[in-house]
Amino acid sequence: MRKILFILCAVTGALLFSGCESPKGWKTVDGVIVFDTPERAPGQQSVLGLRTAPMETVRVGFIGLGMRGPGAVSRFTHLEGVEIKALCDLYPERVEGAQKILADRGLPAAESYSGEEGWKELCERDDIDLVYIATPWQKHVPMAVYAMEHGKHVAVEVPAATSLDECWQLVNTAERTQRHCMMLENCVYDFFELTTLNMAQQGLFGDILHVEGSYIHDLAEFWDYYQGNWRLDFNQKHRGDVYATHGLGPACQLLNIHRGDRMKTLVAMDTKSINGRKLAEAKMNTSEFANADLTMTMISTENGRTILLEHDVYTPRPYSRMYQVTGTDGFANKYPIEGYAFRPTQLSDEVPDHENLSAHSFVPEEVKAQLMERYKDPIVADIEEKAREVGGHGGMDFIMDYRLIYCLRNGLPLDQDVYDAAEWSCIGSLSAMSLEHNNAPVAVPDFTRGDWQKIDGYEHAMVGD
């Protein structure tokens, strides 16, 4: 009997302290919910700073041609060093619509694929380097994984994954196949965000303490247009910040997440659902609705910074991604008013009247304009005009595509790696976990499995660096 007790104790102790998998996939450590981190399988290697062979021309296949996809096809017709080889959607008429974009630009037709499984044939082609995915969230990971397994690099819309398991699938597949998997987080390429990131990297804000980001966008006029009601359907079933990446992406780049710092713990709170429930009643014939009208998530980092995120797609608030940066010596804010505030000593003599500036208010418009010009990110210098002309959310979408192709063509690490995709996408599941457990703290997994300090600071790779 004693022997059995001893064995039982030993096994329980080993389970608790060895870090091996817990029966539920998570455990509580000092009041913090901690998910298991799967072991890196043999044959897998980190893709941190991944460089792949440079390519003269990037051959692309697009999957998903609804509201978002055709804009990407159109932008790619303005990029050098690209061939659009294949187009795919569930509906053949949407593929035809995208073929017209090519024809109107005098480009050869691409191969067409349609139906529920047409995308698999597209991924199986041997003349495609990059698969660009703009389908419903629920299909991102199966498509991205299949594409990487067939040797393709992947660019996938936001959020890249919808669960923790899906986040690990992306990481593990990228590590196994050594393919790029970039989430198409476009908001990190908006002009104000890029300039502010550059200012932050030059030390203008001092030590950054706190960043706020949000997705506040009343989707009332869009709900009916998502194919098969996929988005409302997802929100109806999922509590938490299901669309965190637009607010979080810029924050993580400012805070050098997995490039010296890492997100450590989050806590979420939400309101009751009133408008969401009304939508469910009107459009889905149910009064059940998991997603709150307003969800807030607070995240702390290993190096003592904080992030606040908000998600609200149901109330008539003006569009906002917030984007607010608080540093020891400066402040930036994008919504509803773009502005910067600094201690006068933070600005050099090149900016006029800097002695008159007060950190209690935004710098005057003309000073802001000068700062924005002076701290323009080098990556936009060459293509700003073209980006504004081609457009896509005012140009940021074009800069994103341009950077993706630039880095692939030059064999450089991409601006966003698979660890960013996983970190920014996991917030949906982690915030839901916190909400379901009385707002308990939840540990953010380290998707790099220990390598988060190997790169010193976020940077955009450039030829000649």
| Interface residue list for ligand NAD (CB under 6 A) | 63-69, 88-91, 94, 116, 119, 134-137, 139, 157-158, 184, 186, 225-227
Closer residue to ligand NAD in complex, CB, 6/222? 222
Q: How far apart are CA 268 and CA 275, in angstroms?
A: 20
Q: Give the torsion through C-alpha atoms of 201, 205, 209, 213, to 10 deg.
A: -80
Spatial distance between the Cα atoms of 47 and 181, rounded to a whole number of angstroms: 10
The reply to whether omega before 364 is within 30° of 0 (cis) is no
CB of 258 or CB of 321, closer to ligand NAD: 321
Q: Where are the alpha helices (DSSP H) in 18-134?
A: 69-76, 92-104, 118-124
Closest approach, Cβ 16 to ligand NAD, in A, equals 39
Q: 153-156 and 181-183 as β-strands: parallel, antiparallel, unpaired?
A: parallel
Closest separation in Å from C-beta 162 to ligand NAD? 10
* Closer by beta carbon to ligand NAD, 367 or else 414: 414
Q: What is the nearest approach in angstroms of ligand NAD to the Cβ of residue 264?
A: 27
Residue found under tokens 């709900």: 223
Give the nearer residue to ligand NAD in terms of CB position, either 88 or 211.
88
Number of Cβ atoms within 10 Å of the Cβ of 461: 17
Minimum CB–partner distance for residue 366 and ligand NAD (Å): 31
Distance CA 63, CA 90 (A): 9
Shortest Å, Cβ 306 to ligand NAD: 25
Q: Closest separation between CB of residue 66 and ligand NAD, Å? A: 2
- HSE, CB side, 13 Å, CA atoms: give it for residue 422: 28
Q: Please say whether the beta carbons of 340 and 362 come within 8 A.
A: yes
Rg (CA), the chain: 23
Q: Using DSSP, state whether 27 is helix, strand or coil.
A: strand
Q: With respect to ligand NAD, which residue has the nearer C-beta, 71 or 330? A: 71
By C-alpha distance, which of 394, 430, 462 is closest to 239? Answer: 430
Return the residue nearest ligand NAD (CB atom).
66
- How far apart are CB 445 and ligand NAD at their closest, in Å? 22
Identity of the residue, 261 or 420, whose beta carbon is nearer to ligand NAD in the bound complex: 420
**Minimum distance, C-beta of residue 424 to ligand NAD, in the bound complex (Å):** 12
Which stretches of 372-461 are assigned E, i.e. beta strand? 442-443
Position 238, amino acid:
H
Distances 255 to 101, 208, 450 between C-alpha atoms, Å: 39, 7, 18
Q: Given the complex with ligand NAD, which of 116 and 349 has the nearer CB atom?
A: 116
Which is nearer to ligand NAD, 22 or 227 (by Cβ)? 227
Q: Between residues 160 and 433, which has the closer beta carbon with respect to ligand NAD?
A: 160
What DSSP element (H or E) covers 298? strand 295-301
Closest distance of CB 94 from ligand NAD, Å: 5
- The residue among 238 and 262 lying less far from ligand NAD, judged by its C-beta, is 238
Tell me how far, at minimum, the Cβ of 295 lies from ligand NAD, in Å: 17
What residues contact residue 357 under an 8 Å CB cut-off, 6+ apart? 342, 344, 347, 363, 364, 367
Q: Please give the Cα distance from 419 to 421 (Å, whole number).
A: 5
Q: Return the bridge partners of 308, or none.
A: 212, 298
Q: Which residues pair with 131 in a beta bridge?
A: 61, 154
* Residue 420 · residue 252 · CB < 8 Å: yes
